[in-house]
Amino acid sequence: MTTKKPPRRARVPAKRSTPQAPAASPVPGDLPLAGSPRAHPSLGLGLFAQGRWTQEDERRTRDTVARAIELGLRWFDTAEVYGAGRSERVLGDALAHSGTMTPPAFVATKVWYEHLRPSVLRAALLGSLQRLALPKVDLYLVHAPNPKVPLDETMGALAELAREGKVGSVGVSNFDVEELDAARSALGTTPLAVNQVRYSLLTPDDGEAVLGYCRDHGIVVEAYSPLAMGLLAGRHLDGTGPPAELRRQDSSAFGPTRLPELLDRARGLRKLANAENVPLASIALHWLACRGVAPLFGATRPQQVDDIVRAWAVRPSDELLERADQVAGGRRA
């Protein structure tokens, strides 16, 4: 994606024959969602646009969403800025052609940090709803904080949209504890339901920094990049040099000074997973789930959804997750 980044901590992803569908996400259970009669699904598919969103990209995205629906996944996360709106449009089209789902889809989208003034925010949501072909979204997130826009204005506008029924729940993304506290105060009686942050076994910093606060205040923590840009699915571990894809996507987490150490620890985790005959992704996903965190994985092909759902169905032992935590933290070879 080539859109301009927020001022800090930005982040800004032919039908194949399937021999046998893996089991739909059986574990763990859904999470309570503040102020909503709906529960928050425990595993979701993120539609961050990888690449230029050609017609072929869009076809693969439709196939990927369709496969996720087939396997029982219901949480889909997108944003107005992903593919300049194309991600929302493709998701809306895929959902429209999916028929009746039980339970129904849980759809989340985000407002870009440059659109946080109340009048602009409202227009942004209406545009998202039009592209998604939905009367409301289950969850609407502020994509990143913007210090140039008073938080009271933004949260007041979101609370009003929630009262109007256009938004099921209000959340934020990439907020630290101080910002979360201010957002909660500005929302008044409307609960702050979610904070979505980068969080993985290899890159725990943002998640660990807010986890305690979110637990204390009933805020669901969503983890984007739970597989550390593929490292915790076994990707990029056997190359001869740092993968350019990682540096290009997120230089702050996977820059040249940090990446060699992360690759080394990911190889240690893979060795541990292989020794225990457990998928590496199982360890990564359930390490988060055991903290009460909801992983949001990215996929660009149906096969990747199959792989994640299979991994999700394998619950590593607590002892194995503890050993993995030690390896990821550099405390055990």
Which sequence positions are flagged as catalytic? 82
Dihedral sign, CA of 322, 220, 74, 38? positive
CB 34 within 8 A of CB 193: yes
3-state DSSP helix/strand/coil percent for the chain, to nearest 5?
45, 15, 40
Structure tokens at 20: 């046998």
Biggest CA-to-CA distance, the chain: 56
150's CB contacts (< 8 A; 6+ apart) are none
Give ∠ CA 267-262-301 in degrees, rounded to 5. Answer: 75
Decide if 124 contacts 114 (C-beta within 8 A). Answer: no
